[in-house]
Structure 1
Amino acid sequence: MDIESILIKMTLEEKLLMLGGSDGWHFYGVERLGVPGVRVCDGPHGIRVHRENVKEGEPELDPATNFPCASAMAATFNPELIRNVGRVIGEECRHYGVDVLLGPGSNGKRSPLAGRNFEYYSEDPYLTGVMATSFIQGVQSTGVGTSMKHFIANEQETSRLFISSKVDERTMREIYLLPFEMAVKEANPWTIMASYNRINGKYGCENPEILIDILRKEWGYDGIVVSDWGAVNDKIESIKHGLDIQMPGKVEIDDRLRNAVEKQEITMETLDDHVRNCLRLIQRVQDNKKTYALDLDKNHAFAQQVAGEAIVLLKNDGILPLEPGIKLGVIGRFADDKVRYNGGGSSYCLAYKVEKPLEALRYYADVSYAGGYDEEETSDDLLREALEVAKNADKVVLFAGTTSRMESEGYDRWTIELPDGHRRLIEEVAKVNPNLVVVLNNGAAVATRAIEASSRAIVEAWFLGSASGQAIADILFGKANPSGKLSETFPIQIEHTPAYLNFPGIKDEVVYQEGILTGYRHYDTRELPVAYPFGHGLSYSTFALTNLHVDDRYLSDGKIVVHVDITNVSDRFGGEVVQLYLHDEESYEVKAKKELKRFAKVFLQPQETRTLTFILEQRDFAYYCEPLHRFAVEEGKFSILLGTSSRDIRLTHGLFIPSTDLVRPPLTLDFPYNMWIKYPTEKAKIDELVAKTRMPHWWETEPPLKRWLHVLRHEFNWSDAEYEEIKQRLST
């Protein structure tokens, strides 16, 4: 396709049409010139394929593989696995004639109350960036584009179409933009979806600082920017400030739009740039057309593998794994006719088939079953039936969690507590049979405080997708060894969370007051107790980390090489995630106590040892310096921390990182002696002054330095010229 040739031949009407959808699921082409349109579809956990030309009585959707939700995918800590998830979804897209998948969701998690958290990977921006990058690479390897969303600062459902997210520059760069930056630079998603909300007062679809200055100019992005469905506030302002396509269609061309072009409010150069981006997408789609045979049974089996790796064993006093053949009580409708395998909204798809945990558990044990609850409530009759099952069982597995009314796109949660009916059921069952294992189905963090005393084991089973039943049963009975890790912190109570009292905002604004201290950065820096920390996950195996070695010979090239050995010291095959964090020993700006920078998931045979190598680069030691308007490194001491969660650090190593970045403005004479001696540059000047005069008295160390200088002037009879020279020397 010769883009420039086509551009020349297009009429104004054809160009304007291309900047909007032709319907809800298609972008315009140019039929007259043989340029095809582009078909798009939801969703990030499996495609929701709307059949075209559906006749009355026929199903509207085609079946697809429903993978675990994004928070569960991130819990695998396995980028290669998620790359293959993307590949399989891409193959299904290609089979059904879909050109662009509307995902992945890559927003942050300010609060566990955000209703769409299940659709986003993690509270940690680096983990989110790694997972999003892998997913995008997988999808696009099949010749199907992705639409990374929602760009940017779209961390809530409440008032999402008009709320203004007030975010400072450093927080925006380090927490919310970072995953998008990583994916743009490493995977180049073919499209990016601009968000509903306003960012510091400007709508996401007409925000030139975000869409042009950062995305296009700084990152060099060459794909298209498409609006979220119904997100455009003003089409002309959107076109002028970075949006390529308004969705959904059919978007009409009105006189106001034509006049804007004729009067050069929208220049022809700007219009052609947008059309060029659209044509480039069409070219990518056409140049990468591939054909895949659809094997939904094979894909379902793979989804089962992903679900198994996503399961996180939160707590286990030794009751797990269960023994095959026992009398097992299974309680909770989530195990049977109300399986919670996906969240609501745009992530919904028509699953090819849905496994029931109850059926999978029957292969392992003599199972008796009770429903236990209806949605969020139990009743005397349901409770009586459940208690009867529990009394007659050796052990009990009880399924609980959030309902579709509690967790979905379109609204935020009102609590992180489990439903009252589920908690009551757990407490009453434990009274008649203390051998209780609780399996949680939820898309984001929940409070477990109310059920800790009643449960001997707690299994976090997320929204595991339609192939979850067998995966859960295999973990419970030890056929599979849990290796999942929490992609977000489970707090003790909502009052401890980072955005408490600043979520979901007041009137039309939400202030990201917590700044960079989100997720574990908040809990660990403030040393708050948590129910289960970020990165936590138990195993039936035991692992040891030894022989940490840091090679800084390549420091001049901006690289640090870290080696560490991991050994499976148990008699059982298993997997572990080694997590590398950095801690800045002392910094001018506020920094988190630790930040995840690298991780590696490894599976080891009993007594097997493997050496892992991590390469750190200069950017890993940097923070976003607002005065410099770029990432910069503050010279000083750092610690490399190796562990298996943010709270389980096994090995540490200190090192000095040199830097010429002037991240801190020089101190003036309005700052006290006590501050001047904290920083090497200023301290050297003070030491020189003290050597020629005297040490200050304690009462002279706290006021501005200029007061002490005034005293010294009179003590040592400095002339006006000498006094000015000393001040000048200190100030330069």
Structure 2
Amino acid sequence: MAGTQGPGATQADQAREGVVQAALAALDLDAKARLLGGRDMWSLHALPEIGLAPLVMSDGPIGVRGTRWTADDPSIALPSPTALAATWDQDLARRAGTLLAQEARRKGVHVLLAPTVNLHRSPLGGRHFEAYSEDPYLTGVIGTGYVQGVQAGGVGTTVKHFVANDAETDRFTVDNKVGARALRELYLAPFEAIVTNAHPWGIMTAYNQVNGSTMTEHRYLVNEVLRGEWGFDGFNVSDWMAARSTTGTIEGGLDAAMPGPRTVYGEVLADAVRAGQVKESTVDDAVRNVLRLAARVGILEGAEPVVADVPAEIDGEALAREIARRAFVLVRNENDVLPLGPAASVALIGAAARDARVLGGGSATVFPARVISPLDGLTAALGEDTLTYAVGADPSDELAPADKGFTLRAVCRDDEGNVLGEGNLPSGQVQWIGDDLPDGVTHETMASIEVVGTFTPRESGEHSFGTRGLGDFTLTVAGEVVFDGSEVMGAGSDPFEAFFGSPVERAKVRLTAGETVEVSLRHPLDRTYEAPLPGVVFSFVHLGPRRDPDELIAEAVDAARGADTAVVVVATTERVESEGFDRQDLRLPGRQDELVRAVAAANPRTVVVVNSGSPVELPWREDVAAVLLGWFPGQEGGAALADVLLGAREPGGRLPTTWGALADAPVTRVGPTEGELAYTEGVFIGYRAWEKAQVTPVYAFGHGLGYTDWTYESLVVEGTTATVRVRNSGPRAGREVVQVYLAPAANDGDRPARWLAGFAGAEAAPGESVEVRIELPRRAFEIWDESTNTWAHQAGSYEVQAGRSIADRRLSETIAV
């Protein structure tokens, strides 16, 4: 990797470094310390004396929210990271990154807080939708493309969460005990690959501890490994509120402590230097890294940004649709039920078919300007004459932020009740972080917020209204106060409860479809409560009338009987997959499994679309004709689904992680004991662990079907280059993902039976043969030797295996290295 001053540095790198050094020399201690602590929720301080503008950061990874956490400022919403990894296409990841850079520049953002390259260690990880894969090599390849794309657009990245942030339970305090070999071969490997191949401008260190040291103070992993061994020259930012001490973090290599204005840096850091507790040269190192980032993104006066010419504009909606259909994984297709015929009548079933879940919950949330649900997409493609819809079963009976039928605004008042300002609320969520407030409103003057507006029901019956958040609330519906009370944080709760906590039902009100009523939710602010992040966060939530579940399933069965094909969309909910908690099981919520079985019994041509970010159990899979894994497909997911179901495009995805029953999963523990979580499985996670346990999963790593067939004709290995010839032996053009695995001939059980060493996409017309060349990296033949603390090349015989998945290996050749 080219450094800023090493032999690989360009003249532009050296010129930027000269500006950085001059700017650093012009700063006094107080200015330097101030720069390292957050100015507010999303930015660092400006320093006009050196021509430095505020450095603005924003959450990703599937969109750029910007500094406003509101649906009033929409963003493109791409499919989930698991979906992007399912494409097995680095170039597509690169294009996704470039689009997000375009979005970032539009919103005035300099650094994207993404990508997440932690691993799917256990299927119970609640935030796995935001990471790519169980495999470190695939994760590194997709992450490299993503970072290259974002930075090609002149926007920085922060590869996260460094390191071993692989579960959510007690994530702020857990001490993950990870052996050196597993740490190197699995959890550090994607970070190392991305640092080497993409030269990221930032890294985000995690909340958790690793082997006794919190990651924001981990001198060995940050200073010796990341910066020393790998040559990383970017900036290291804490996860939000992860920095807990002043001397520990600065000496542990943390450059920026976020958010602000309350911070362990700033004045506290300057005082520590003056007291002799911290060397000023250590502060200088951190400031230099921040200034280097500022120079790269073009906000340090006198420094030429890395990207002067912005890439050509990308159509975000079109790319979101392309990624979604390329990510869909067809895992079952009996009797070629898919693609559907052009004249087929379709019964579309499932609550998620109408109200699609297009992204995961938590800090990855963005607010797209539009969402195309499966019902929208199939209605546009088929027309209403050949499509019927039935709810069937709702995966959730939980209230959700008020949106459909609501017209809302937030009115801010002072202590005397005077109106200070107003803001639109397209979804009933007040999420004002830092200075993100309506015009004329400040935290100091604001005493209360009232969500006020109207609601026009879609259905008659009992409607549930409620709140999410902490504090006092007064809820009024149709002129009547239906709740006046408080919600307090429970003992031991995640401090993000106010952001991501459960909604609470407060009242039921009988309403009539089409008749508009006035609604209001008043929330006086508790100025004695010190929130974990500066801001105001609460939601006005709602749930429509709840019909008899048996009646809904019966209606779906009737619809299925009357159609050529039944398409059932099943889904997880925000209480199953989100930030801040892990999963308890892998079951679909509600009565969705029962729904699928009932529909499949009524129509043998039943297709199930699974709308989840990570694996769920599919106990009915052998009873249905086809199963299509749709992930969280982004804002254009419904249009992409129509493309795939009707055969305009083939489903292009392959599994980036193993799908199986929880009872069979080799690694399941995500909760610590007395504060510690031991990674006792060592290097055996994912498919490595399934093979070691000699248990066959439901769907293997790498599995995925298309709409054509492929014949593997030859494999030739010369040195470390594998050349694979495949022929499209099916009826239509398609794309194959050729996967190459490496299996050591001599294995005492200390190494996995095999591991992914490379892959490539191959496109061909019917009857056409194509060759792909796959380089086997040197690291594929190495292990981490704990006795010498170095990488050790493992000589001997290896079988190079090429195929369609780890369980469907078609060709092999033995080589000696």
Partner in structure 2 of residue 73 of structure 1: 84
Partner in structure 2 of residue 598 of structure 1: 758
Measured in 2, the distance between the counterparts of 1:616 and 1:291 equals: 35
Moved more, 453-462 or 218-227: 453-462
Secondary structure (helix, strand or coil) at the match of 2:672 reads coil
- Corresponding residue to 1:394 among 555, 564, 579: 564
- Report the AA paired with residue 651 of structure 1: L
Question: Which one has a bigger Cα radius of gyration?
Answer: 1
Give the conservation status (yes or no) of the 8 Å contact 1:481–1:573.
no
Structure 1 residue 507, shift from structure 2 partner: 3.0
Structure 1 residue 634, shift from structure 2 partner: 2.1
Measured in 2, the distance between the counterparts of 1:50 and 1:329 equals: 42
Measured in 1, the distance between the counterparts of 2:378 and 2:778 equals: 50
Partner in structure 2 of residue 244 of structure 1: 255
Give the conservation status (yes or no) of the 8 Å contact 2:605–2:624.
yes
Moved more, 257-266 or 71-80: 257-266
Partner in structure 1 of residue 333 of structure 2: 316
Q: Which has the higher contact order (CA 8 A, sep 6+)?
A: 2
Summarize deviations over 1:173-229 as a string: whole Å, max 9, x none. 000000000001111111100000001111010001111010011001100000000
Structure 1 residue 592, shift from structure 2 partner: 0.5
Measured in 2, the distance between the counterparts of 1:213 and 1:171 equals: 18
Measured in 1, the distance between the counterparts of 2:667 and 2:372 equals: 37
1:412 paired with 2:412, answer no
Structure 1 residue 604, shift from structure 2 partner: 1.0
Give the conservation status (yes or no) of the 8 Å contact 1:376–1:422.
no
Partner in structure 2 of residue 133 of structure 1: 144
RMSD of the TM alignment (CA)? Answer: 1.8
Partner in structure 1 of residue 388 of structure 2: 368
Structure 1 residue 133, shift from structure 2 partner: 0.5
Question: Is the alpha carbon distance of 1:404 and 1:227 closer, same or farther for their aligned partners in structure 2, counting shifts above 3 Å?
Answer: same
1:326 paired with 2:495, answer no
Structure 1 residue 255, shift from structure 2 partner: 6.4
Give the conservation status (yes or no) of the 8 Å contact 2:41–2:259.
yes
Equivalent positions of 1:398-547 (< 5 A) are 398-448=568-618, 450-491=619-660, 493-500=661-668, 502-547=669-714
- Report the AA paired with residue 268 of structure 1: E
Summarize deviations over 1:615-652 as a string: whole Å, max 9, x none. 22432211111112111112211110101100000011
Give the conservation status (yes or no) of the 8 Å contact 2:346–2:567.
yes
Partner in structure 2 of residue 55 of structure 1: none
Question: Is the alpha carbon distance of 1:435 and 1:147 closer, same or farther for their aligned partners in structure 2, counting shifts above 3 Å?
Answer: same
Measured in 1, the distance between the counterparts of 2:558 and 2:777 equals: 60
Give the conservation status (yes or no) of the 8 Å contact 1:70–1:121.
yes
Measured in 1, the distance between the counterparts of 2:240 and 2:219 equals: 20
Secondary structure (helix, strand or coil) at the match of 2:738 reads strand
- Report the AA paired with residue 471 of structure 1: A
Structure 1 residue 151, shift from structure 2 partner: 0.3
Give the conservation status (yes or no) of the 8 Å contact 2:332–2:628.
yes
Equivalent positions of 1:631-642 (< 5 A) are 631-642=791-802
- Report the AA paired with residue 646 of structure 1: I
Structure 1 residue 495, shift from structure 2 partner: 2.6
Structure 1 residue 292, shift from structure 2 partner: 5.9
Structure 1 residue 580, shift from structure 2 partner: 0.5
Question: Is the alpha carbon distance of 1:21 and 1:61 closer, same or farther for their aligned partners in structure 2, counting shifts above 3 Å?
Answer: farther
Measured in 1, the distance between the counterparts of 2:126 and 2:637 equals: 22
Structure 1 residue 562, shift from structure 2 partner: 1.5
Equivalent positions of 1:209-288 (< 5 A) are 209-252=220-263, 256-286=268-298, 287-288=305-306
Secondary structure (helix, strand or coil) at the match of 1:409 reads coil
- Report the AA paired with residue 118 of structure 2: N
Structure 1 residue 570, shift from structure 2 partner: 1.2
1:620 paired with 2:638, answer no
Question: Is the alpha carbon distance of 1:254 and 1:145 closer, same or farther for their aligned partners in structure 2, counting shifts above 3 Å?
Answer: closer
- Report the AA paired with residue 538 of structure 1: L
- Report the AA paired with residue 160 of structure 2: K
Secondary structure (helix, strand or coil) at the match of 1:397 reads strand
Secondary structure (helix, strand or coil) at the match of 1:398 reads strand
Secondary structure (helix, strand or coil) at the match of 1:80 reads helix
Aligned length: 639
Structure 1 residue 514, shift from structure 2 partner: 1.1
Give the conservation status (yes or no) of the 8 Å contact 1:48–1:61.
no
- Corresponding residue to 1:198 among 200, 206, 209: 209
Measured in 2, the distance between the counterparts of 1:355 and 1:294 equals: 26
The percentage of counterpart residues that share the same residue type is: 37
- Report the AA paired with residue 358 of structure 1: L
Question: Is the alpha carbon distance of 1:425 and 1:621 closer, same or farther for their aligned partners in structure 2, counting shifts above 3 Å?
Answer: same
1:30 paired with 2:44, answer no
State the TM-score, normalizing by the size of structure 1.
0.85
Secondary structure (helix, strand or coil) at the match of 1:189 reads coil
Measured in 2, the distance between the counterparts of 1:26 and 1:61 equals: 21
State the TM-score, normalizing by the size of structure 2.
0.76
Give the conservation status (yes or no) of the 8 Å contact 2:66–2:108.
no
Partner in structure 2 of residue 556 of structure 1: none
Secondary structure (helix, strand or coil) at the match of 2:375 reads helix
Measured in 2, the distance between the counterparts of 1:454 and 1:157 equals: 34
1:3 paired with 2:20, answer yes
Structure 1 residues without counterparts, runs of 5 or longer = 53-58, 553-559, 658-732
Secondary structure (helix, strand or coil) at the match of 1:334 reads helix
Give the conservation status (yes or no) of the 8 Å contact 1:543–1:576.
yes
Structure 2 residues without counterparts, runs of 5 or longer = 1-15, 299-304, 398-547
Measured in 2, the distance between the counterparts of 1:118 and 1:292 equals: 30
Give the conservation status (yes or no) of the 8 Å contact 2:124–2:584.
yes
Measured in 2, the distance between the counterparts of 1:529 and 1:109 equals: 18
Structure 1 residue 114, shift from structure 2 partner: 0.6
Measured in 2, the distance between the counterparts of 1:588 and 1:524 equals: 14
- Report the AA paired with residue 267 of structure 1: K
Summarize deviations over 1:583-627 as a string: whole Å, max 9, x none. 011146700011101000122111111111122243221111111
Secondary structure (helix, strand or coil) at the match of 1:390 reads helix
Larger relative strand fraction = 2
Give the conservation status (yes or no) of the 8 Å contact 2:329–2:704.
yes
Moved more, 231-240 or 165-174: 231-240
Measured in 2, the distance between the counterparts of 1:420 and 1:283 equals: 52
1:348 paired with 2:365, answer yes
Measured in 1, the distance between the counterparts of 2:309 and 2:610 equals: 39
Secondary structure (helix, strand or coil) at the match of 2:85 reads helix
Summarize deviations over 1:83-132 as a string: whole Å, max 9, x none. 00000111111122110011000001111111100000000000000000
1:549 paired with 2:716, answer yes
Larger relative helix fraction = 1
1:379 paired with 2:549, answer yes
